[in-house]
Every structure is written in C-alpha cells, then in structure tokens.
Structure 1
Amino acid sequence: MKQRRMIITQNLDKRYIEQIQSLIPNWELIVGRDRIVWEEHLKEAEVIAGWKKEMKELVLQGESSLRWVQTWSAGVNSLPLTDLQAQDIQITSANGVHAYPISETIFALMLSLTRKIHTYVRNQQTKMWHHSGMKLELHGKTVGIFGVGAIGQETAKIAKAFGMKVIGFRHSGKPAEYVDEMYKTTNMNDILPKLDYVVITLPLTKQTYQLFGAEQFERMKSSSFLINISRGEVIDEKALIRALKHERIAGAGLDVFETEPLQEESPLWELENVIVTPHTSGSTEYYDERVVKDILIPNLKNYLEAEPFSINLVDYQKGY
C-alpha cells in the first residue's frame, strides 16, 4: 500500500513535529523550509502545509496526490486558486493567527502618527529639539475598520479601551462585538467623511482590488490617517501618494505595498507624514505555535475523520 505523505515547508520546533506525527504515525512527514528537503516528495504529498509559489509547476501539472493545502499565511491571493479548484483541492488558511500582533501594529501606527513619534525619531537623529506641532490625541475619535475578521475585531476591542467610536465594514454587514455601527463596503463613500482613522484589514480579491482610490481620499477628512496592513493592491498607490503629498489626508501607516520590497524610488520612503514597515505586522514569537495548535492540528483531525474542515476553509467563490 502506498505510504501517505505530508509536507510542512517550515523549520518547526521538534515538539510540534512530534505532536503532528502522533496523529499520523503511519504517514511519512517531511518537514523543512529548504526546497531540497521537500521537492522530490511533492507528487506523492497528500497534504502540504505552507504553499510555495514554485510548487505550481511541480504539483499541478499532471497527476498529483494532493488533496489539501494548509497555508502558513492568512491571505491566499498568491495561490493558483483556479488550478487548485480545478483539481478539487481544499484550502485552509492561517487566518486568525495574526490578530494580536497585527492589532498591536495597527495601534502602534495610529498612536505614532497621532502623537508624532515618527517625527520625533527623525528629529532625534539630527539632535533637533522641536515641538513639531504636537496637538492631536486619539481618545474619543472615530475609527473605521474595513474587514472585521479576527484582526478587525481585536482592533475594535482595543479601540473601545481608548473610548473610540468604532464603525465596521464587512462583506456580510453582520454586526460584531465592539463595533458600534456595521456597514457593507458599498456604503463606504458615505461614511468616509466621518472617520478620523481608516484601518484596512481586507483580503485581496477582485472586489477589493484598488478599493481605495482618488475618490475615496477626496472623501476622507484632511485630518484623517490611513493604516493598511492587508495587501498593497487594495489601494491605488499613486492616488495615495498624491493625497499624501497634497495633504488631502494627514498621514499613513503602511505595512504593505503594490510592489514588495518597496522600490527605492518610491516617494513613500521620504514623505514625512508616512510610516513604512516591511510587511512585518503579523510577525510574532508565537506564529508557528498558533498555526500548528490552533489551526493545523484541528484541521488535520477533521481530515483524518473525513469530516468538513472546522477552521478557515477557503471559499473559492469569495477568494478567501
């Protein structure tokens, strides 16, 4: 009988490998980040945890044993979804792993822009003692959270600790805890003028591609700040740069960009009302632990029992 195989393309701690292997004692478990570790096993792999872009040509051409992909990231827009769907391969994502680190980054950016920490860091580098027009505070302001999933809900929870009014936007329009008002994104242009902070945590889909453009920046308050930790393509970057240069909005905290790494010639590096971070908002010391214990192992138990996945099953129609 052909031995079943599972590939994990991460350098996992031994204790996590042992926990997974205990569930599949008769499977061959291949674990390691380097391509040389797993490449020769791809055609026989029934489960892959941690999709790599080079796998498309190696796995999806001709016959493959692959039945399930567990991603190591929340977003699935970089996967060959059409090809995976054509072969009836199920996908589960790592959505939810990032709620704590990303919500912390969101508020770090919001507070830094509001209290001019980024400006004072620049001043420190030149030993300049200057007030720099400090006047804003975050308490009591209104934040709009676009995408009220795990990250959005944790962000809303923190916002309430600052006495903020929270307005949420989600595909379903379904209410959520800590959100005072919930809308669908189709209503966004009417609500944008009310927001002091715009926080984007949306997945990248055909519907969200360049959802924020010149029209949306024109509708935002000139005193408002934009925070994007989702995907760069959700924003028309050229329109954002124009809005920032002309002070149509007050500033932006950006962890994601249309092209990554952010190109050296991008004006975003130099704009004084922008904070740039290198797509690290989801980084955390607990990342692997949360993926393995909270998502991969429960889903693996479902898979072994031929039951529907209980966590983060991707809907091909929605794209997330």
Structure 2
Amino acid sequence: MQKRKLVIAQNLDEDYIMRINAIIPEWEIIVGKDNTIWQKHLEDAEIIVSWKKEMERMLIQNNMNLRWLQSWSAGVNSLPLQVFEEKKIHITSANGVHAYPISETIFALMLALTRKIHSYIKNQQTKTWHHANLSLELHGKTIALLGIGAIGMETAKIAKAFGMKVIGFRNSEKPEENVDSMYALNQLDEILPICDYVVVTLPYTKETHHLFKKQQFKLMKPSSFFINIGRGSIVVEEDLIHALQSKEIAGAGLDVFEKEPLHGESPLWALENVIITPHTAGSTEHYTKRVIEDIFIPNLQSYIQGSTPSINLVDYQKGY
C-alpha cells in the first residue's frame, strides 16, 4: 500500500521534520526548496507546504492527489484559487506571522518620512550638512489603518504608545482594542481628510482592487503620508505618482507595487518624498518558526484526526 505523502517545498531544520514525523509517522515526508527534490512527488502528494508557480501545471492537469495546501505567504491572490476551489482543496495561509515585522516596518517608514531620516541618509552620502526643513512629529497625530487583522492590531498598539488617534477600517466594523473608532471601507472617503497617516494592510480582492486612486489622494491632507504594505494593485500607481509629484500628499512608504520587481524606469525611484522597500516588510528571523509551529503543526494535528484545518483557512468567497 502506498504511503500518504507530505511535500514541504522549503528547507527545514531537522527538529521540525522530527516533530512533523511524530504526528504522521506512517507518511512519507519530502522536504527541500530545490524543485529536483519534490518535483516527482507532486502527483501523489496529499499535503503541500509552500506553493511554487511550477506546481500549477500539475494541478490544472487534474492528476494531483492534493487535499490541503499550506501557503508560505499570507496573501493567496497569486494562487489559482478557482482551480483549488473546483477541486475542493483546503488552503491555509501564513496570515499572522507578519504582525511584528510588518508593524515594525510600518513605523520605520512613518518615522523616517516624518523625521526626514531618508533625506539625511542621502545627505550623509554627499557629506552635506543640511536641515532638510525638518518640522513634523508623529506624536498626537491621526492614523488610519485599512485592515484590522493581526498586522493592523499590532500597529494600533504601537500607535497608542505614540499617543496617536487610531481609526480602523474593516467590513464588520467590530470594535477593537487600541482602535478609537471603526469604519467600513465604503466610508473611507469621509475619513481621509482628517488623517495624517494612511496605512494599507488589506489583502488584494475584487473589493480592494484600485481602492486608492486619484479621488482618494485628492481627499488626503497635503501634509499626510501614505504607507502601503498590503498589495500593489490596491493602488492605481500612476495616480499615486501624480499625487506625490504634485505634493497632494507629503510622501509615501511603499513595500508593494502593481508589478514587481518595480521597473527601473518608474518615477517612484527618483522621488525625494518616497521610501521604497522591495516587498520585504514581512521578512523576519522567526518566519519559519511561526508558520510551522503556530499554523501548520496545529492544523496537521486536526487534519489527521479527520477535521478540516481551521487556522487561517481561506474563504474562497472572500478571496483570503
């Protein structure tokens, strides 16, 4: 009788492999990031951890035994979701593993833009002693957090340490600790004029596609900053560039873009009021630990007992 099979398309420490093996001792476990390690095992893998683009062809050809995918990323919009849904495959995301590193990145960008750190770094490279017209401070300002999941909640907690007024946006409008007031996304335009910082942590869905465009940037204060660590396609990039060039907003911290890597000809690279990071806001030394220990292992224990993995189970209707 053929063994049930788990494919983990990432490199894992032996300790994690042993812990997983203790849960499914009768299974064959394939571990390794290199596709030569897992390629020939895809057809009969029941569980896959970490989806790779080259796996898609096998899935579409309908010759996979796959029942559950543990995504290595929080966002799942790049996956062939329609095919997964048609084949009734469970997907669990890595949502939640990024709360600390991304909230740190959000405040790094906000503080750098507010206190002109990016300008001073450029001045240092040319040995230029210049004030850079520094005047703003972050304490006491109003921050809008679009998306109050794990990242939004952690960011709200930090914002309170700076004495900020925190406005949250999520569809349920359910109150949350450290959030002073909560709104639905369809109320966004009403709130933008009072915000000093607008932070996007939303997933990419049909609802959030091009949520930010010319109209929304015009509503923002000329002194306000826009931070996007959600998904690039939530923003009409040309409209953001125009808003930055025309000083409709004071600046932007951007970790995600409509097309990645960001093209070398993009005007964003040269704008003095922009800080760019290469989709690294969620990078952390604890990434693997959080995916495996906090999400995959508890879900695997449920799965083996006949239950649907419940932690971060993707809702196909919502798209996340």
Question: So what's the TM-score if we normalise by structure 1?
Answer: 0.99
Tell me what 2:14 maps to: 14
Counterpart CA distance in 1 for 2:57 and 2:172 is: 36
Identify which range, 53-62 or 113-122, moves more after superposition: 53-62
Does residue 165 in structure 1 map to residue 165 in structure 2?
yes
Secondary structure at the aligned position of 1:319 is classed as coil
Q: Counterpart of 1:150 in structure 2: which amino acid?
A: A
Q: Is 1:315–2:315 an aligned residue pair?
A: yes
Task: Please give the per-residue CA displacement for 1:206-226, whole angstroms capped at 9, x wherever unaligned.
Answer: 110110000000000010000
- Note if contact 1:222-1:250 (Cα within 8 Å) is conserved in structure 2: yes
Q: Which residue of 1 aligns with 2:93?
A: 93
Counterpart residue number, 1:37: 37
Contact 1:42 1:58 in 2 (8 A): yes
1:279 maps to amino acid = H
State the alpha-carbon separation in 1 of the partners of residues 187 and 286 from structure 2: 37
Cα offsets for 1:260-299 (capped at 9, x unmatched) = 1110000000000000001100000000000000000001
- Structure 2 match to 1:262: 262
Residue of structure 1 in register with 2:79 after alignment: 79
Secondary structure class of the residue paired with 2:46 = strand
Distance in structure 1 (CA, Å) of the matches to 2:66 and 2:221: 49
- Alpha-carbon distance between aligned partners in 2 of 1:25 and 1:60, rounded to the nearest angstrom: 30
Displacement of 1:146 in angstroms is 0.2
- Local SS of the residue matching 1:127: coil
2:105 is matched with: 105
Q: Cα distance, 1:175 vs. partner?
A: 1.2
CA distance in 2 between counterparts of 1:307 and 1:83 reads: 22
SS of equivalent to 1:167: strand
Matching residue's letter, 1:57: R
Which whole-Å CA distance do the structure 2 matches of 1:59 and 1:38 have between them? 14
Are 2:58 and 2:64, in contact at CA under 8 Å, matched by a contact in 1? no
Distance in 2 between residues matched to 1:277 and 1:64, nearest whole Å: 37
Letter in 1 for 2:19: Q
* 1:1-320 equivalent positions in 2, closer than 5 A: 1-320=1-320
CA contact (8 A) 2:10 2:50 kept: yes
Unaligned runs of 5+ in 2: none
- CA–CA separation in structure 1 for the residues paired with 2:55 and 2:29: 18
Misfit runs of 4+, over 6 Å: none
| DSSP-derived class of the 1:263 partner | coil
Look up the equivalent residue of 1:2 and give its one-letter code.
Answer: Q
TM-score (norm 2): 0.99
Write the distance in 2 (CA, Å) between the matches of 1:205 and 1:171. Answer: 13
1:59 shift after superposition: 2.5
What's the offset of the Cα at 1:307?
1.6
Aligned length: 320
CA distance in 2, matches of 1:310, 1:103: 25
Distance 1:135 1:307 in 2: 56
- 1:314 maps to amino acid: V
Structure 1, unaligned stretches of length 5 or more?
none
Per the TM alignment, residue 171 of structure 1 is displaced from its structure 2 partner at its CA by: 2.0
* Contact 1:60/1:84 (<8 A) preserved: no
Shift of 1:39: 0.6
Residues 158-192 of structure 1: per-residue CA shift (max 9 Å, x gap)? 00000000000012211111100000100000000
What is the percentage of aligned positions where both structures have the same residue? 63
**Residue 99 of structure 1 contacts residue 151 of structure 1 at CA under 8 Å; is this kept in 2?**
yes
Task: Give the root-mean-square deviation of aligned CA atoms.
Answer: 0.7
Aligned partners of 2:60 and 2:5: how far apart in 1?
16
